[in-house]
């Protein structure tokens, strides 16, 4: 069979497409639930079907994939479940925008036809993000792909809703929602866009009921004062806490308002006194619930003042009501002042009209009973990494409010509740009822609302495994092993999955939760389209390959620390991929078609002993870092080992053995070279699956090696304690110190690389002398030395470059090598030129006219330029001093 070859250059795109298709077609990552091995499972945080891959997804997928591929190497039975979220609001918005382009609305189609239209969109474009996940190399089991709105998940959702209702944990009640008066619809929070708008802060006098004075309240919406039911102050505010428990009179209405104390009130904002209007402000609603305040709504669904306000205001628009209220306050001397105030205003994503908070009847989950279990489970059954997020998790659960789960849209799991038109009976059922359970009437009307998307995704860890059916997957892979997610959904999703898992499976849904950090731009700013600093992962894959992107993200994924990402860093790790490729090509040119049957213990020589020892250390370090979620250490360990140790040192040191006449030494070195390269590819595979697969597929094998050509199925490299050789590390440390020290002398004194030098090493003991003497040829080759003298009496002439390595003195004679006078003259000339330029730049930066008027980036550029020149001056000054010292 013809020997396989690597292409001259690494072109990741063809390689990635080939292996991605191979893994999926061969079902490499589809485990057998009845197969051997300890279970390890992860469920993918389901991206929205409307979404596109962003850098947060890329990081999340990379970290999950590392864990899954690593645990397969440990012999575990690994399942990684993929899937998407139906994203009720976002998806409905997309389709409604399409309809708008056709001059239609969802009401024109009707509910049934509209749902059909959304399904058509989902089949055509809704799985686009899955193809993008494939490009990342995610080793998910595509045969078990799930969707939060497919039949099995719908079955689970209905079961959970009905069970919670029967347990008294789901109920119907009033709640405040976002309401668009123009579109006449409720909007979820993520449908509301926030715009900074200029406004006014109105300072209004509220007389105290006992006649002792008044409190001044600041508000941006004076018309809603007609619905005020309290005044709130901060208990820590010494100006007003004495009024807590008293009452004030609501101007223009005459209603008595209790004065309450709550730490929510910002002492620094406005006057420090807050009007509380539960029906017309989201935060006031929560204050109202907390303090059991009356809820009065004075606006109808069209945005006009209703019957709950004094008669003279009824029927007015918000704008007209505001004008009338301000005029009356002023005429009564109750309007102290009006000041300019910019603030964030919620607007409808469709028509840009201002959103009005509106109280309506909604469905809720009673959260406190569920939250108690979820809190007790951490860290007893589930650990959160980094640990500091545990405190945040506790805080949210301790302050938890009931969860409003109903949404006034059509795309989603419709609430399985029916009302009898004859007797008003409410029926909640898993199966669609045909007759009323109370009166027998067939006139049943299903609730129009659908469930919050988070409701179905809260069931994800067990619904994806087939629940409520008793499946093999559920029995084998629940609870899952680890959840990798962002901190922003710790409450929306993670805590709710904990609650639902404990309630319905009586087990936590995952044993570990790893909270990854944010990916920011290189200045540490959050990426956003508006600021133009977004780095698109698909663009980066297109330019540099998936492995380069994955390795970059991994190398900066330190626990609890945000990633500062730049395209230059990704490009840099593309060079690392090239380094691996070229090192492999070198190895392939020096390896036979069949690897020699040589025992590693027969491999002599410092290079072989040292690299085998280091390989064992790397195996242990990578495994430990992976288990402890120190992802950056995985990448950094492998990078240092491959680039600095394997490529820069080992490959150079073994050339004499590979090119020499000693066949025994050559065969032993070939065996070590193959062992280190092949096992390093297995270690690196979880981080960079594509390049390692391509390399593994072409590497020659020893006779009888029948391991799979698919590196993704290989076990982790076996440990070889017999290869641990601390003495080799110590000897190598001395060897590298001598070679590097000699190279540094050449570099510092600007001696040409081609210039042959002599080296004298004055040793401090016989052991060091023996090590250096045994490796004289390698020192000569790597440091480009012509003659070497080693021993306790070796000493160079006065005009020598010098260095000290572990007490051993290195001397490089410079007579005839360096023209000292010419070098000093050149340095003086360069320093004078540099100082003149620095003086000009420094003068510019001291000029207020330049600093204050030039663009900020220009000023910053000049500062950077000056700093670089100062650094260059330091280097030249140090070099001059070194030369003068050598001249002595």
Q: Residue 180's beta-bridge partner residues?
A: 185
Contact present, 177 and 360 (Cβ < 8 Å):
yes
How far is CA 792 from its chain centroid? 57
Question: Measured in Å, how far apart are the chain's first and last C-alpha atoms?
Answer: 67
CA–CA separation, 407 and 450 (whole Å): 5
How far is CA 492 from its chain centroid? 17
Q: Which tokens belong to 581?
A: 């490729």
Q: Which tokens belong to 225?
A: 């004062």
Q: Residue 510's beta-bridge partner residues?
A: 480
CA–CA separation, 745 and 807 (whole Å): 17
CA–CA separation, 583 and 585 (whole Å): 5
C-alpha angle 552-556-562 in degrees, rounded to nearest 5: 125
For the chain, the farthest-separated pair of C-alpha atoms sits apart, in whole angstroms, at 113
C-alpha angle 378-557-509 in degrees, rounded to nearest 5: 30
CB atoms within 10 A of CB 263: 11
C-alpha angle 226-227-230 in degrees, rounded to nearest 5: 110
529 is in an annotated binding site: yes
* Helix and strand numbers, DSSP H then E, in the chain: 30, 31
CA–CA separation, 46 and 91 (whole Å): 14
Q: What string of DSSP letters covers 165-214?
A: HHTT-EEEEEEEEEEETTTTEEE-GGGEEEEEEEEEEEEEEEEBTTSS-E
Structure-token match 């809190």, residue found: 375
Residues 6+ apart with CB under 8 A from 362: 172, 173, 174, 175, 177, 404, 405, 406, 449
CA–CA separation, 483 and 626 (whole Å): 14
Query: CA quadruple 271, 272, 273, 274: dihedral positive or negative?
Result: positive
Q: Residue 173's beta-bridge partner residues?
A: 362
Backbone angles phi, psi at 412, to 5 degrees: 155, 180
| Residues placed in the known binding site for ATP | 529
| Residues placed in the known binding site | 529
């Amino acid at each position: 069979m013809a020997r396989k070859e690597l292409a001259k250059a690494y072109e990741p795109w063809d390689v990635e497409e080939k292996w991605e298709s191979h893994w999926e077609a061969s079902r490499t990552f589809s485990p057998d639930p009845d197969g051997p091995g300890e279970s390890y499972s992860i469920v993918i945080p389901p991206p929205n079907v409307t979404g596109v891959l962003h850098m947060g997804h890329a990081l999340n997928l990379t970290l999950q994939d590392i864990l899954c591929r690593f645990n397969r190497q440990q012999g575990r039975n690994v399942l990684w479940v993929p899937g998407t979220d139906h994203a009720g609001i976002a998806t409905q918005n997309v389709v409604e925008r399409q309809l708008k382009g056709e001059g239609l609305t969802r009401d024109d189609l009707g509910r049934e036809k509209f749902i059909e239209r959304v399904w058509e969109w989902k089949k055509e474009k809704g799985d686009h993000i899955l193809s993008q996940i494939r490009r990342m190399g995610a080793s998910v089991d595509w045969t078990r792909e799930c969707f939060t709105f497919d039949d099995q998940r719908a079955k689970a959702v209905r079961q959970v809703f009905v069970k919670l209702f029967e347990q008294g944990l789901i109920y119907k009640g009033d709640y405040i929602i976002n309401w668009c008066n123009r579109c006449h619809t409720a909007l979820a929070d993520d449908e509301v866009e926030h715009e900074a708008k200029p406004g006014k802060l109105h300072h209004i006098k509220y007389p105290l009921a006992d006649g002792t004075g008044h409190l001044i309240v600041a508000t941006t919406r004076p018309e809603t004062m007609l619905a005020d039911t309290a005044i709130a102050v901060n208990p820590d505010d010494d100006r007003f806490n004495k009024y807590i428990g008293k009452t004030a009179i609501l101007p223009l209405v005459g209603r008595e308002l209790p004065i309450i104390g709550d730490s929510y009130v910002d002492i620094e904002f406005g006057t420090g006194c807050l009007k509380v209007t539960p029906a017309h402000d989201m935060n006031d609603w929560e204050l109202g619930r907390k303090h059991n305040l009356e809820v009065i709504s004075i606006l109808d669904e069209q945005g006009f003042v209703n019957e709950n306000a004094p008669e003279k205001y009824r029927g007015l628009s918000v704008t007209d009501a505001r004008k009338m209220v301000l005029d009356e306050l002023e005429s009564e001397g109750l309007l102290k002042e009006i000041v300019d105030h910019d603030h964030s205003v919620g607007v409808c994503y469709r028509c840009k009209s201002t959103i009005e908070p509106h109280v309506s009847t909604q469905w809720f989950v009673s959260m406190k009973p569920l939250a108690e279990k979820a809190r007790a489970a951490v860290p007893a059954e589930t650990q959160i990494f980094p640990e500091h997020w545990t405190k945040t998790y506790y805080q949210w659960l301790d302050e938890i409010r009931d969860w409003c789960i109903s949404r006034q849209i059509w795309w989603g799991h419709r609430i399985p509740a029916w009302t009898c038109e004859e007797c008003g009976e409410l029926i909640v059922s898993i199966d669609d009822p045909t007759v009323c359970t109370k009166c027998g009437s067939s006139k049943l009307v299903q609730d129009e609302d659908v469930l919050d998307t988070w409701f179905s995704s809260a069931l994800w860890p067990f619904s994806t495994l087939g629940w409520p059916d008793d499946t093999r997957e559920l029995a084998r892979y629940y609870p899952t092993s680890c959840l990798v997610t962002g901190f922003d959904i710790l409450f929306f999703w993670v805590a709710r999955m904990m609650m639902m898992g404990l309630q319905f499976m009586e087990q936590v849904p995952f044993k570990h939760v790893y909270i990854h950090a944010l990916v920011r731009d290189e200045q540490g700013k959050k990426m956003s389209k508006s600021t133009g600093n977004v780095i698109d992962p698909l663009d980066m894959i297109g330019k540099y390959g998936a492995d380069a992107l994955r390795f970059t993200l991994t190398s900066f994924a330190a626990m609890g620390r945000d990633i500062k990402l730049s395209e230059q860093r990704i490009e840099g790790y593309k060079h690392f991929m090239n380094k691996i490729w070229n090192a492999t090509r070198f190895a392939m040119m020096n390896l036979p078609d069949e690897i020699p049957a040589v025992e590693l213990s027969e491999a002599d020589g410092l290079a072989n002993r040292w690299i085998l020892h280091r390989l064992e250390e790397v195996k242990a370090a990578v495994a430990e870092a992976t288990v402890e979620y120190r992802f950056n250490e995985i990448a950094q360990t492998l990078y240092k080992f491959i680039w600095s140790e394997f490529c820069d040192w080992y490959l150079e040191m073994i050339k004499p053995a590979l090119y020499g006449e000693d066949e025994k030494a050559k065969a032993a070195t070939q065996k070590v070279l193959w062992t280190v390269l092949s096992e390093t590819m297995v270690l690196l595979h979880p981080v960079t699956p594509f390049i390692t697969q391509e390399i593994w597929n072409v590497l020659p094998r020893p006779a009888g090696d029948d391991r799979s050509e698919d590196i993704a199925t290989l076990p982790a490299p076996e440990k070889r304690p017999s290869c641990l050789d601390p003495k080799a590390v110590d000897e190598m440390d001395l060897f590298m110190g001598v070679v590097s020290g000699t190279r540094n002398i050449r570099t510092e004194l600007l001696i040409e690389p081609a210039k042959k030098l002599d080296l004298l090493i004055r040793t401090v003991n016989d052991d060091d002398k023996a090590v250096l003497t045994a490796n004289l040829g390698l020192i000569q080759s790597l440091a480009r030395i012509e003659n070497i003298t080693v021993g306790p009496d070796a000493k160079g002439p006065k005009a020598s470059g010098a260095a000290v390595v572990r007490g051993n003195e290195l001397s490089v004679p410079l007579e005839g090598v360096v023209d000292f006078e010419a070098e000093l003259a050149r340095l003086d000339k360069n320093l004078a030129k540099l100082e003149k330029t620095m003086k000009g730049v420094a003068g510019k930066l001291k000029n207020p006219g330049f600093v204050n008027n030039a663009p900020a980036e220009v000023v910053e550029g000049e500062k950077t330029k000056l700093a670089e020149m100062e650094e260059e001056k330091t280097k030249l000054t140090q070099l001059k001093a070194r030369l003068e010292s050598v001249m002595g």
